[in-house]
Amino acid sequence: MSARRPLPRWADVALLPALNLLLALVISALVLMIIGRNPLEALDTMIFGAFGYGEGVGYTLHFATNFVFTGLAVAVAAHAGLFNIGAEGQAYIAGLGAIVVALWLDNIGIPFGWLLVMPLAMIAAAAVGGLWAFIPGYLQAKRGSHVVITTIMFNFIASAIMVYMLNRVLKPVTTMAPESATLRGAGKVPQLREFFDYFGYAPVNMTILVAIAALVAVYILIWHTKLGYAMRTLGLNPSAAVYAGMSNSRLIMIAMGISGALASMIAINEVLAVQNRLVLDYVAGYGFVGIAVALMGRNHPIGIALAALLFGALYQGGQELSIMMGINREMIVVIQALVILFTGAMEGLFRPSLETAFMMLGPRQKTEAIARSTAQPES
C-alpha cells in the first residue's frame, strides 16, 4: 500500500479525469439503455448537435461562457481554500445590478451605446454578486461560520429576494409574468451572429470576450501577483500564511468577493444578451455545474476553459437530444450529476490502480518509489 509513488503530472491532470469522465459516460449510456434508447445514436446526436453546425457551435459557446464564469468563481475560492457553493445565488442576485444599470441607460441614444452600458452593467453586477459572496466570506473570517453552509443558505435567500423583486418591484404594471421591463436599446449586449452568419440563431454574444479575458486575468491573478500568492498560501497552509504576516480574514473576504464577481458575469451573458430582461431562475444550475468545471479543470484556467467547453457541448447536445430523439432534457442533468460524482466526489476511484500500474512500469521507478515512501511516509 504505502509503496506507491504519486502519479506523473500528465496522468493526474489528463488521464485520471478522462477515465472518470469515461465511466460517467458509460453509466449515462446504461441509463439510456434502461429507458430503451440507443446510447450510440444518442452520442452521435449530441456530438453533431454540439459541434456539427454553426448554430450548434454557437449554443455550445454560449453555455461554455456561463461555465467559464462559474468555474473560475469556484476555482478562485478553492485556491484560497474556500468552497464557494453559492455561485448560483451570486449569479442570480447579480442580475439586479445588471438590469438596473441597463434599464437606466437603455435609451442613452449614442452610437455604440452598449460599449458604455455593458461595462457599467458588469461593474454593477459584480458589485451585487460580489457582495453576496463577500458577506459569507466576512461571516467565515470574522464570525467563524462555515462558508459552505452560509453560501447554501444565501442561495435560497437570493432566490426569495428575486421572486419578491420581480413580482413587486421590477415588474412593469402592463406585464403579467414576473419579469422586468425589456431592454430595447443600448442595454442589449450585441450577439456575435450580427457579425458572423455562421452562428445562425445561436445566442453566443460579446460576453464570451469577457470570459476569455477573465480566464487570462485569473491566471495572472493567481500565479503572477502578490495577492494570488497570498491566496494560494492561505489555501495550502493557513498557519503558514499567518506566520508570513498575511491577514487570513482579509484574504478570505477578498477571495470570496472576487469569486462572487466572476459568477456575476452570467447576468450579463443571460440577462442583458439573451433574455433582454430579468426573468426568474435564469441561472438554471450553472452555478452548481461550475463546481464540476473547476474540479475537472484542476482549478487552472486552461483546464477550466476545456471543461467549460465540454459542459457547454453537453448542454447543447442535450438540447439536441430532446429535439431530435425526444429524450427528456433531464438527461443532461443525469449526465451532469454523474460527471460531478465521478470526476468530483469519486475522483479517487482509479487512483490506486493507476498508481500501481505506473509503478509496474519500471523496476528503477519501483526502487525509487520505495525509497521515497520509506523516507517520507504518506499521511
Partner 1 sequence: MDIFAVLSLLDATIRLTTPLLLACLAGLYCERSGVFNIGLEGKMLAGAFGAAVVAALTGSAWLGMLAGVGVGVAFALIHGIASITLKGNQIISGVAINFLAAGLTTLLGQSWFRQGGRTPALPQGGRFAPIELPFASELAGIPILGPIYSELVSGHYILVYIAFLMVPLTFFVLYRTRFGLRLRAVGENPKAVDTAGISVTLLRYQAVLIAGVLCGLAGAYLSIAQGSGFGNNMTAGKGFIALAALIFAKWRPVPAMFACLLFGFLDAMQIRLQGVDLPVIGQVPVQAIQALPYVLTVVLLAGFIGKAVGPRAGGVPYTKER
Given 47, 275, 325, 347, the residue binding partner 1 (CB under 8 A): 347
Stretch of 30-38, 105-113, 183-191, 360-368 contacting partner 1, by CB under 8 A:
30-38
109 is an interface residue for partner 1 by CB under 8 A: no
Q: Which stretch binds partner 1 (CB under 8 A): 189-197, 307-315, 324-332, 355-363?
A: 324-332
Phi-psi domain of 268 (left: phi exceeds 0; alpha: psi -120 through 50; beta: other): alpha
Judged by CB, which is closer to partner 1: 43, or 161?
161
Q: Which three cell numbers stand for residue 246?
A: 498575511
| DSSP per position, 60-122 | HHHHHHHHHHHHHHHHHHHHTT-----HHHHHHHHHHHHHHHHHHTTT---TTTHHHHHHHHH
**Span of 91-99, 163-171, 221-229, 301-309 interacting with partner 1 by CB under 8 A:** 163-171
Give helix 16-34 / helix 39-51 axis angle, nearest 10°: 120
Among the listed residues 123, 161, 181, 212, the single contact to partner 1 using CB under 8 A: 161
Rounded-to-integer distance, Cα 192 and Cα 175, Å? 29
Q: Among the residues of the chain, which ranges form H helices?
A: 9-10, 16-34, 39-51, 54-79, 87-104, 114-143, 147-164, 207-224, 226-236, 238-243, 248-266, 286-296, 301-320, 330-339, 351-359, 363-375
Site for partner 1 in 38-97 (CB under 8 A): 83, 85
| 283 lies in the site for partner 1, by CB under 8 A | no
For residues 133 and 263, the answer to whether their CB atoms sit within 8 Å is yes
Which is closer to partner 1, CB of 163 or CB of 220?
163
Please, what is the minimum distance in Å from the beta carbon of residue 35 to partner 1? 4
Using CB under 8 A as the binding rule, the residues of this chain from 7 to 26 that contact partner 1 are none
DSSP state of 189: P
**Alpha-carbon distance 216 to 230, whole Å?**
19
**189 scored as a contact of partner 1 (CB under 8 A):** no
Q: Which of 9, 168, 224, 364 binds partner 1 (CB under 8 A)?
A: 168
Give 18 or 120: the residue with its C-beta nearer to partner 1.
Answer: 18
Which residues make up the interface to partner 1 (CB under 8 A)?
A: 1-2, 31, 34-36, 83, 85, 139, 143-146, 148-150, 152-154, 156-157, 160-161, 163-164, 168, 285, 288, 291, 295, 328, 330-338, 340-341, 344-349, 377-379
